[in-house]
Amino acid sequence: MRATDVITSATRNAFRSKLRTTLTVLSLFVGAFTLTLTTALGAGVSDYVTKQVASLSTGDVLLVTPATTTDTTEGPTEYDPDGRQQSSQANPLGGGTLMNDDDLDSIAAIDGVDRVEPIRSISVDWVASSDTSIDTRYELSVNPTSSIGRSDLVAGAQLDQEAEDAQVILPEDYVDALGYEDAGDAIGRTIELGYSGADRSERTTEATVVGVARTSLLASGAGANQALTTEIADAQAVPGQPDAYAVAVAYLTGSGGDGTVTDDDVAGVKVALADADLAGQTVEDQLGVVQTIINGIIGVLSAFAIVALIAASFGIINTLLMSVQERTREIGLMKAMGMSNGRVFGLFSLEAVVIGFLGSALGALAAIGVGSAISSVAAAGPLAALPGLTLLLFDPLSVALVIAAIMLIAFLSGVLPARRAARQHPIESLRYE
């Protein structure tokens, strides 16, 4: 029997009992539908996080924090007046210990580090436009990590960390509020920032808008360049208190082509930092945790889909066993005519694969249809605050993988009935009533 004949026969046989096949296909449909959606959800969220990481990280920076002390055996640590200070408030980016200027110097001295900038938290009370008709003051929060990397820009340019003048990147929703026509119109305009000094005095300063950024999951608030941050941080520093930083940013020099920073460069600096009792993390390292959590959730959701598929596979076994039973005499006849056991096996297992393909392809198509609709509704409604997030991302490769996996499950389910058919004795099959 020719391979093409086996395939066409298997396909036709699958449709001989339409209702039964339809019901089995439906059970696979449910599994395929769910699995396609969960994979798409995982892909969508992962893609968003990856994009955010890319937008955040320039790839050549390390966030440096004091190494967490795990040493518990040597009793109380002796006081060192020049040592590091302890923070009085919890810092999500670092441990309780703060770095001092000595630490910054030792970071700067590491081979491969171009320069080091401490991250200083600043608080701005309000922002107002200095050159439009609107003079309402709005609250504004400045993202302390804006100096690490790039923003997801709607218009304008990234912050110049080494510039002398004060620069800001405004979140998109401030464009209207401050009276600009559009994002492009805001570029180059001057804004006024109000803040309180360490002595509770009200102060103002001016900055130039260099860019307008999309709201992002991981970087909210406005961005301020080093010049502006330093100015405000200096005014907000408590007089007499030595400088202490929770986090510093080390800018690396690359050894790769065109000065790009290679993985080896990053690893080398990390080792040197560890020697100095400091810990360095790339933005990717930090977001790896987020990624792991997302993958965990997607994994659990996919497990439900797999359970549905396992249930469906029993449906396939049942359907095919009935099919084998019904066609006992036909199998006997084909065997009498010289059809080999292998071909009989192939005929029935392929029938299972055909059912698997139908269920998975229809399920995947429906999932793509429904998912795209959900995705666009969600993007317009509840997820409007997260532009750039495609909740369900249907990657052709992963959809194809889902279909292939379900066809494999169907094939495996078909093995038992197909073996039963292949092992039937022609005479007994022909006698079967």
Beta bridge partners of 191: 129, 207
Question: DSSP assignment, residue 223?
Answer: E
Taking CB under 8 A as the criterion, the residue among 290, 339, 365, 405 binding other proteins is 339
Q: Is the separation of the CB atoms in 391 and 44 below 8 Å?
A: yes
Angle in degrees, 0-180, between the axes of helices 283-326 and 341-380, rounded to the nearest 10: 140
CB of 291 to other proteins, least distance (A): 53
Six-digit token pair at 244?
């202490």
Tell me which residues in 15-74 interact with other proteins (CB under 8 A): 16
342 versus 387: smaller Cβ distance to other proteins: 342
Closer residue to other proteins, CB minimum distance, 332 or 356: 332
Q: Counting Cβ atoms within 10 Å, is residue 318 exposed (0-12), middle (13-18) or buried (19+)?
A: middle
Give least dist CB 430 to other proteins, A: 7
- Rule CB under 8 A: say whether 340 interacts with other proteins: yes
Residue 123 or 341 having the CB closest to other proteins: 341
Q: How far is the CB of 51 from other proteins (least distance, A)?
A: 53
Is 7 one of the binding residues for other proteins (CB under 8 A)? no
x/- contact string, 103-132, with other proteins (CB under 8 A)? ------------------------------
Tokens of 253: 């020099």
Q: How far is the CB of 22 from other proteins (least distance, A)?
A: 17
The verdict on 336 binding other proteins (CB under 8 A) reads: yes
Which residue do the tokens 């005014």 mark? 235
Query: Which residue in 104, 114, 124 sits closest to 247, CA to CA?
Result: 104
| Strand blocks (E) in 202-313 | 202-213, 223-224, 247-252, 278-281
Q: Which stretch binds other proteins (CB under 8 A): 230-238, 242-250, 298-306, 338-346?
A: 338-346
Q: Residue 325 Cβ, how far from other proteins at the closest point, in Å?
A: 15
Among 62, 212, 298, 334, binds other proteins (CB under 8 A): 334
The structure tokens listed for 43 are: 């892909």
Residue from the set 84, 137, 203, 329 that interacts with other proteins by CB under 8 A: 329
CB of 423 to other proteins, least distance (A): 12
Q: Which is nearer to other proteins, 237 or 430 (CB)?
A: 430
Which range of residues in 156-164, 181-189, 235-243, 333-341 is near other proteins by CB under 8 A?
Answer: 333-341
Nearest approach in angstroms of CB 384 to other proteins is: 56
In the bound state with other proteins, the residue whose beta carbon lies nearer, of 150 and 343, is 343
Count of residues touching other proteins (by CB under 8 A) = 21
Question: Measured over all CA atoms, what is the biggest interatomic distance in the chain, rounded to whole angstroms?
Answer: 103
* 333 scored as a contact of other proteins (CB under 8 A): yes
Task: Indicate whether 322 belongs to the interface with other proteins (CB under 8 A).
Answer: no
Cα separation, 58 vs 341, in Å, equals 62
Should residue 1 be labelled a site residue for other proteins when binding is judged by CB under 8 A?
A: yes
3-class SS of residue 205:
strand
From the list 341, 369, 382, 387, which residue makes contact with other proteins (rule: CB under 8 A)?
Answer: 341
Q: From CA 151, how far away is CA 170, in angstroms rounded?
A: 10
Residues 289, 26 contacting (CB under 8 angstroms) = no
Q: How many CB atoms lie within 10 A of CB 202?
A: 10
What are the residues facing 194 on neighbouring strands?
A: 126, 204
For the chain, state the CA radius of gyration.
32
Q: Is 423 in the site for other proteins (CB under 8 A)?
A: no
Instruction: Check if the beta carbon of residue 97 is closer than 8 Å to that of residue 84.
Output: yes
Among residues 238, 337, 380, 397, which is the contact residue for other proteins, using CB under 8 A? Answer: 337
Q: Cβ distance 151 to 225 under 8 Å? A: no
Q: What is the end-to-end Cα distance of the chain in Å, rounded? A: 26
List residues near other proteins by CB under 8 A. Answer: 1-2, 5, 9, 16, 329-330, 332-334, 336-341, 343, 425-427, 430
